């Protein structure tokens, strides 16, 4: 996780850029000025403001931040000129001075090519069922080039003009989900080779629901590959939604507990209830009658999704903890008694400093782990720093 001092202000800047463009698109859609593409409002321009490029060039990011400050002051000066006639000349004279003094960033850094779906978001909600659907579609359409592990080393990869990207790295977290959708359905081209196609579009075989399912699967796959290679989740991954039965009550979605910490206990073990957590036991459908917890999930898709995210074929006995916002944060390995700080797999190195300002850590391992989770929540901005 990232702990650089630039993270906070840069995440704020990237979030503002994204939010402003998204609100503009919504306004255009409300006025009937934005068309529909793949079931959602389409971005009407060929360019958009980039957040991901600002991570690479912090100098340009600072220029953009100061330029926005100057523009805001110029707008304020115009408002003052309208309301305060006696000082209107001075306020109006300030406007061009601010615009000239602004350190305008280079256009090629801030403006990047956009797709009509750049600001579209997945309607799936990252569910276990969507991940399972994406897994089957990936095996049918993607594995030959991208490989079974998503690292871009499939049997046909070497024959391609451009080597496929590594989907197990940070690529999926840096790029807008809508841009990934467009590339799956419409293909990709290499701008440095005169627009030569580098990946075919699958719009003739897949619809947008299929493409979103593929994106969900690739994120889950990337999380598992990262955990295998690095021992942690360097990019945050959510807890997939699934149906849960609690006693005789009707089934409810796991997402309905958002705002509370959730612990998933897999396999036929007897989980100890804890008031600090909502405990859900995940079992195979054939073993649902043996479940000992009050709340049980028995979806095969849920089992497969969590096995994929944890990068293991032996999920039974694993425990997972998600924070109040639904991010997976900790994993307890099968056979391990108790919890320790080493089990926190999605973390920030700034957490100990944050904890130092608070009370001493609880004596029990789970309490200490929860304290770290609460002290440093995931502050994920698409295309920005993590944490």
pLDDT digits (tens, 9 = 90+) for 73-111: 999 999 988 888 777 888 889 999 999 999 999 999 999
Q: Token pair 């959602």 is at which residue?
A: 40
3 band by pLDDT with thresholds 50, 70 and 90: very low
CB 107 within 8 A of CB 32: no
Q: For all residues of the chain together, what is the average pLDDT?
A: 87
**pLDDT tens profile 8-31:** 788 888 888 999 999 999 999 999
Q: Which token pair is 153?
A: 């080393």
Range list for CATH 1.10.760.10 in the chain: 128-230
- Given pLDDT bands bounded at 50, 70 and 90, which one contains residue 308? very high
The dotted CATH code for 243-346 is 3.40.30
Residues counted in the chain: 387
* pLDDT at residue 359 greater than cutoff 80: no
Q: For the chain, what is the total number of helices (H) and then of strands (E)? A: 13, 13
Note the Cα 284 to chain centre separation in Å.
Answer: 28
Q: Of 157-161, 263-267, 356-360, where does the model show the most confidence?
A: 263-267
**pLDDT band for position 1 (cuts 50, 70, 90):** very low
For residue 178, pLDDT over 70 is answered with: yes
Residue 360 has pLDDT above 90, yes or no: no
What are the pLDDT digits (tens) for 235-272?
A: 899 999 999 999 889 999 999 999 999 999 998 877 77
pLDDT digits (tens, 9 = 90+) for 30-74: 999 999 999 999 999 999 998 878 878 889 999 999 999 999 999
* pLDDT bucket at 2, cuts 50 / 70 / 90: very low
Q: How would you classify the pairing of strands 319-322 and 262-266?
A: antiparallel
Q: How much is the average pLDDT of 199-225?
A: 94
pLDDT category, 188, cuts 50, 70, 90?
Answer: confident
| Rg value, the chain, Cα | 24
Write the CB contacts of 263 (distance below 8 Å, at least 6 apart in sequence).
Answer: 271, 274, 277, 278, 279, 280, 319, 320, 321, 322
Q: What is the pLDDT of residues 309-319, one digit of tens each?
A: 999 989 999 99
- As a 3-state breakdown, the chain gives helix, strand, coil percent values, each rounded to 5, of 45, 15, 40
Residue with tokens 């007897």: 270
Please enumerate in sequence order all residues whose Cβ is within 8 A of that of 12, keeping only pairs 6 or more positions apart, or say none: none
Q: How confident is the model at residue 228 (pLDDT cuts 50, 70, 90)?
A: very high
* Torsional sign, CA 84, 88, 90, 93: positive
> What pLDDT is recorded for position 190?
75
Task: Report the pLDDT value the prediction gives residue 86, as an integer from 0 to 100.
Answer: 76
Rounded to whole angstroms, how far apart are CA atoms 331 and 322? 9
Domain topology for 128-230: Cytochrome Bc1 Complex; Chain D, domain 2 (1.10.760)
Helices of type H across the chain? 6-30, 52-56, 58-83, 88-101, 107-110, 128-141, 143-146, 171-174, 177-186, 208-230, 300-309, 351-356, 365-375
Residues of the chain with CATH 3.40.30: 243-346
Angle at alpha carbon of residue 49, lines to 166 and 191, rounded to 5°: 50
Beta bridge partners of 237: none
Query: Do the bridges between strand 295-297 and strand 196-199 make them parallel or antiparallel, or are there none, so unpaired?
Result: unpaired
Instruction: Measure the CA–CA gap between 257 and 190, rounded to whole angstroms.
Output: 44
Coil, helix or strand at residue 206:
coil
Q: Are 337 and 351 in contact (CB under 8 A)?
A: no
CA 154 distance to own-chain centroid: 25
User: Residue 342 above 60 pLDDT?
Assistant: yes
φ/ψ (deg, to 5) at 68: -65, -35
């Amino acid at each position: 996780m990232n702990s650089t001092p630039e993270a906070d202000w840069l995440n704020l800047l990237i979030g503002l850029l994204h939010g402003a463009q998204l609100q503009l698109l919504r306004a255009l859609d409300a006025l009937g000025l934005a068309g529909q593409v793949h079931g959602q409002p389409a971005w009407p321009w060929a360019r958009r403001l980039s957040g991901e490029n600002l991570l690479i060039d912090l100098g340009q990011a600072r220029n953009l931040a100061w330029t926005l400050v100057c523009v805001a002051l110029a707008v304020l000066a115009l408002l003052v000129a309208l309301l305060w006639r006696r000082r209107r000349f001075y306020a109006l004279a300030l406007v061009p001075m601010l615009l000239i003094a602004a350190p305008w960033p280079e256009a090629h850094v801030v403006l990047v090519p956009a797709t009509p779906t750049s600001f579209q978001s997945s309607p799936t909600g990252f569910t276990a069922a969507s991940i399972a659907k994406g897994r089957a579609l990936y095996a049918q359409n993607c594995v030959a080039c991208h490989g079974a592990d998503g690292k871009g080393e499939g049997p046909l990869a070497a024959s391609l003009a451009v080597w496929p990207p590594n989907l197990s790295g940070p690529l999926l977290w840096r790029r807008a989900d809508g841009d990934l959708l467009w590339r799956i359905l419409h293909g990709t081209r290499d701008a440095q080779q005169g627009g030569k196609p580098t990946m075919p579009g699958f719009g003739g075989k897949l619809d947008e629901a299929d493409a979103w399912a593929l994106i969900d699967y690739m994120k889950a796959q990337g999380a598992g590959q990262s955990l295998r290679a690095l021992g942690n989740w360097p990019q945050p991954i959510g807890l997939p939604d699934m149906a849960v039965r609690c006693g005789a009550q009707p089934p409810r979605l796991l997402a309905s507990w958002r705002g509370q910490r959730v612990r998933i206990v897999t396999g036929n073990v007897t989980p100890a209830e804890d008031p600090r957590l909502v405990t859900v036991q995940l079992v195979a459908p054939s073993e649902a009658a043996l479940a000992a917890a009050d709340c049980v999930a028995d979806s095969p898709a849920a089992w497969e999704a969590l096995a994929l995210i944890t990068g293991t074929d032996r999920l039974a006995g694993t425990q997972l903890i998600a924070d109040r916002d639904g991010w997976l944060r900790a994993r307890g390995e099968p056979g391990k008694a108790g919890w320790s700080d080493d089990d926190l797999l999605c973390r920030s190195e700034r957490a100990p400093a944050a904890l130092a300002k608070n009370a001493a850590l609880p004596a029990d391992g789970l309490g200490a782990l929860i304290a770290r989770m609460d002290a440093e929540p995931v502050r994920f901005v698409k295309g920005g720093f993590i944490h």
